[in-house]
Amino acid sequence: MTVFSLAAIRRDLAARDRVEASLRHREVELFQEKEWAQVTLHSIGDAVITTDAKGQILYFNPVAEALTGWLHQEAYGLPLVKVLKILHETTREPVENPLEKALREGQVVGLANHHTVLISLKGREIPIEDSAAPIRDREGNMIGAVMVFHDVTQTRALTKQLSWQANHDPLTQLVNRRKFERCVEQAVKSAQTQGHNHVLCYLDLDQFKIVNDTCGHGAGDKLLCQITALLQTQVRKTDTLARLGGDEFGILLHQCSLPQALRVANEIRECIQGVRFVWQERTFKIGASIGLINIDANSEGFSDILSTADAACYTAKNKGRNRVHIFQTDDRELLQQRDEMQWVTRITQALEEDRFCLYSQPIAAIASTEKNAEHYEVLLRLRDEGGNLIPPMAFIPAAERYGLMHLIDRWVIRTLFATQGEHYQEIWKRCQSQERSCDALYAINLSGASINDDRFIEFLHEQLALHQIPPPLICFEITETLAIANLTKASQFIKELQQLGCRFALDDFGSGMCSFSYLKNLPVDYLKIDGEFIRNIVDNPIDTAMVEAMTRISHLMGMQVIAEFVENDEILERVKVIGLDYAQGYGISKPHLLVQ
């Protein structure tokens, strides 16, 4: 053997040693990589299952073992569908395994149905979210798939809880207005597409406010829960019972005729009428007013149906309470209620867009010594969306009925003081500098809502101070009927305003009881005789006699008297003869724009 041959052999041996060493090193690396991959799969918080290209299980990590109830050794080599059973949690139908889909389509399958549950080996149901992806070799051939899933029990429970809370009233556990709206919309759709007939009942408790105001909200809440339990015994499982707010409930009677609904509504009314609510040794009798509206193929949306049912309920309440009223298309009274309800939105929008405006109508002093004094009543008008003037009687009843008058009263005071404050100050200062009493007076009408508002006096005090308004220049007017409705409250209210320095007038005197006895308890400065007595005073001796009596007694009580509706010179001359102090009406002056 030559030296050259020996050298070649040595080189071959060395090369083989290097290849063997490299292979051993690669085997070590592959083992370490496999070990690292398994450690990683064992460590992650999600369940991981891998299969071969036929869907037979190759690997289970510990989380997969815990969720499925299968051990890795037991599951190895089994078809995945045998080990991993997934159902829809509501329908209980089998759901396609995402790993099978990944193998079939050769692409990643994202999060599957959000309502899937895993049935473990021991029958335990576990809500899961899952995904799967194919596994490919270096040449791109699909050699298997991997599935990852995790337990979402807490997440899904929280989601259900939030969904329930969003659709239910927390006190009564009934569905809320939002959910009820969807149910009614579905009922309308079924009526239009399938010819079904449904009925919506709008129920309002008649004596709830008394319980709430006299015993507190705790008592009110308990009463609502008792009524809820009673209502639940009167409706079918297919019906929908909801609390719409406060003491108002909605009942959707599914596939029910109007005569059947009327019987159900009267049974509910009688049950509630029989309730005797006891709270701290006090017993209250409860009633309910119910409005019914039919839902058929001609019905419109939820808002229209509910507002009509609400108006029907209000009509039932207005006719004496504790009764049922059915909406009819030719029901004029109910249509008027609906119109008033539509005014609520228009009034609110007008306040936001500042579309109210103020007018003033002079009140003339009949006595010659006061003829030059500035004295007028502030009148309210509303400009509609087209800029047309709307008289107050078109919207005031709706504002009173739906609790908006206190907002309007405050708008009037805030706007009047802000725009006329400097003028009032100048008049006051001029009178002070001349050392004479100030005969100027500006009358503002107040509603019952402001009289019953415990914070109104505070608001008025703030506005007087903010705009530096001399209180003796301001006169507030309330109607006779309003004063009679709550004599004690009205008297207290008048005295508090007079303590601020303001004056007070009793408006429309004679339109109510026309009783002089209660005037002893109302320390008003002015008495305005209702225009119905003044309008015909020239031709009607009875009206003349009544105005004379009102004037004489008012003067004896220290009040000055104002005649309304003085429309011409003849009426003006007659009230002068009788001895009234002031006159107001078109015969004196028409209203003029004061604040745009």
Residue 510's pLDDT is what? 78
Average pLDDT over the chain, rounded to an integer: 85
Q: How many of the other CB atoms lie within 10 Å of CB of 371?
A: 10
Which parts of 353-404 fold into alpha helices (H)? 396-401
Q: Are 272 and 205 in contact (CB under 8 A)?
A: yes
Express each pLDDT in 56-73 by its tens digit. 999 888 899 989 899 988
C-alpha 140, offset from chain centre: 60
* pLDDT range class, residue 162, cuts 50, 70, 90: confident
* pLDDT range class, residue 295, cuts 50, 70, 90: very high
* pLDDT range class, residue 564, cuts 50, 70, 90: very high
Express each pLDDT in 331-386 by its tens digit. 666 666 666 667 888 888 888 888 999 999 999 998 655 556 789 999 999 998 88
CA 5 to each of CA 11, 16, 18: distance values in angstroms, whole numbers, following the listed order: 10, 16, 20
Q: What DSSP line would sit under 79-116, residue for residue?
A: BHHHH-EEEETTT--B---HHHHHHHHTS-B----TTE
Q: Are 215 and 207 in contact (CB under 8 A)?
A: no
Residue 11's pLDDT is what? 66
Express each pLDDT in 530-553 by its tens digit. 888 998 899 999 999 999 999 998
Residue 398's pLDDT is what? 82
Q: What DSSP line would sit under 141-167, residue for residue?
A: -EEEEEEEEEE-HHHHHHHHHHHHHHH
Q: Which residues contact 323 (CB under 8 A, 6 or more apart)?
A: 269, 289, 290, 316
pTM over 0.75: no
How far is residue 130's CA from residue 587's CA, in Å, rounded to a whole number?
86
Percent with pLDDT over 90 in the chain: 39
Q: Are 331 and 295 in contact (CB under 8 A)?
A: no
Residue 360's pLDDT is what? 93
Express each pLDDT in 123-146 by its tens digit. 898 888 888 899 888 888 899 999
What's the chain's length in residues?
Answer: 596
The stretch 436-457 carries a mean pLDDT of 89
**CA atoms within 13 A of residue 285's CA, in its CB half-sphere:** 5
Q: Which residue type is seen at 557?
A: M
Residue 551's pLDDT is what? 92
Percent with pLDDT over 70 in the chain: 88
Phi, psi for residue 67 in degrees, rounded to 5: -75, -40
